[in-house]
Structure 1
């Protein structure tokens, strides 16, 4: 747990993502962070690491490269980036807050189990630094992403989020809807929803005539309860969801104890 409210004007913010150092979303997040504090550091993957989840590179060395003032890239995963940032680059002056994103596309429902954006925030949380993952939904028909909503609302969401303390092992997952900034219906703190997985599997032949399968992004919407991140984002609201890293299911734990007595 951290002491709330955080004094953001004197804080050190670390930014990472899973879309890579050159992604549009991380540029938007840098702009938001610099409106909060002058002490902003960026450590992000060299290349896109979407759906990398909480993977850690352990079978090869990592290359850390400085690409600007307080800006670094790592040829690894989002988890690698945050680990190196906190335990190596900033070991003598730890960040006060870690911001991950802004992801190109939402991270709602079961997305959180695959997301590298969420994983970067998870790693920071495990290392004892408060963290927020941020994602921007886009229209699945036009596939055009408008960052203006995240840019307009991002600072306010962050400031409100750190005005209260969160328990240990908790991170925040924020999703902005695919509507203009003035059309946002509000900010709602809601639970993690669940969607039926309906992966789009595309099977084709490569130029050599060998078959391959490409996993698409199609998902079905199963849980439409109004108190879920899925419902809020798809109805024009900003969803804020606290995620807990202790995955133990306590009721089942007690039941199994009886079975093994």
Structure 2
């Protein structure tokens, strides 16, 4: 029976994690190793300036007072009784599309698994703020993709970033393999003042502006499709490298 490790960035008690763990339970033995509290947008940070504490909440469920990447690293090396066959991270209650992939703790948990040579999948539900999250729909889609990964594997040094539209299953058109899109936020930094008149800045919110390029994760989800983007660990721009190597000094 495959061993599947589940993590996330929203915390061990997040409803998306519970839905994901339930869905993966039909594919194999599930062990949850997740942050004790919300660690959204921490990217791939590791906790290196203090010790990490682990609490076992129930059989096969562990809470770590650290980041998603911490959870995967400690889970694989110290908590699990054998190496997992698959790492699945999510379900994030919000899309991880375009440039948001770089900030996402959800994606980084899967990236850490990939760095350790374990097939890994990040799962996000493209729900807007205040919108009811249809986690069961995303969990069912994640189960389909996870089953395929367990059967066929993934390309070397590659994770899958799965984004599911927040729609009833009957309204999802299908799925597409996509490339990463682009986005920027307008007015994403809010200026505030405390009671003593000191100025502070708050990062978050703003209005997202998405690239309208074709065949991207952004376009697919907006059109009602499940998006699967293969993310590679090697971030080298190989086309630029070929050009630049022609200028190498002898």
TM-score range, shorter chain: over 0.9
Matching residue of 2:228:
240
- Among 83, 91, 105, the alignment partner of 1:116 is 105
- Among 90, 114, 128, the alignment partner of 1:101 is 90
Matching residue of 1:187:
175
Measure how far apart 1:223 and its partner are.
2.1
For 2:149 and 2:176, the matched residues in 1 are separated by: 12
| Structure number with higher strand proportion | 2
Structure 1 residues 154 and 165: CA distance shift in structure 2, 3 A? closer
Measure how far apart 1:138 and its partner are.
0.9
For 2:100 and 2:52, the matched residues in 1 are separated by: 27
Measure how far apart 1:26 and its partner are.
0.4
Are the aligned partners of 1:177 and 1:237 in contact in 2 as well (CA < 8 Å)?
Answer: yes
Matching residue of 1:134:
123
TM-score for both structures, normalised by structure 1: 0.90
TM-score for both structures, normalised by structure 2: 0.93
Are the aligned partners of 2:188 and 2:204 in contact in 1 as well (CA < 8 Å)?
Answer: yes
Measure how far apart 1:260 and its partner are.
2.7
Structure 2 alignment gaps of length 5 or more:
none
Matching residue of 2:73:
83
The alignment covers a number of residue pairs equal to: 249
- Among 48, 53, 65, the alignment partner of 2:43 is 53
Matching residue of 2:193:
205
Q: Which moved more, 1:211-220 or 1:44-53?
A: 211-220
Matching residue of 1:176:
164
Measure how far apart 1:199 and its partner are.
4.9
Are the aligned partners of 1:195 and 1:219 in contact in 2 as well (CA < 8 Å)?
Answer: no
Measure how far apart 1:196 and its partner are.
3.0
* Deviation readout 1:44-72 (Å, 9 max, x if unpaired): 00111101101011111111111110111
Measure how far apart 1:94 and its partner are.
0.7
Matching residue of 2:59:
69
**Secondary structure of the residue that 1:50 maps to in structure 2?**
coil
Are the aligned partners of 2:179 and 2:217 in contact in 1 as well (CA < 8 Å)?
Answer: yes
* Deviation readout 1:144-178 (Å, 9 max, x if unpaired): 32323213433223223444332221000000102
Measure how far apart 1:115 and its partner are.
0.3
**Secondary structure of the residue that 1:221 maps to in structure 2?**
strand
For 2:147 and 2:205, the matched residues in 1 are separated by: 32
* Deviation readout 1:93-120 (Å, 9 max, x if unpaired): 1111000001110100001100000100
Equivalent residue runs for 1:17-36 within 5 Å? 17-36=8-27
For 1:127 and 1:186, the matched residues in 2 are separated by: 31
**Secondary structure of the residue that 1:175 maps to in structure 2?**
strand
* Deviation readout 1:111-136 (Å, 9 max, x if unpaired): 11000001000111111110000001
For 2:145 and 2:33, the matched residues in 1 are separated by: 22
Measure how far apart 1:219 and its partner are.
4.7
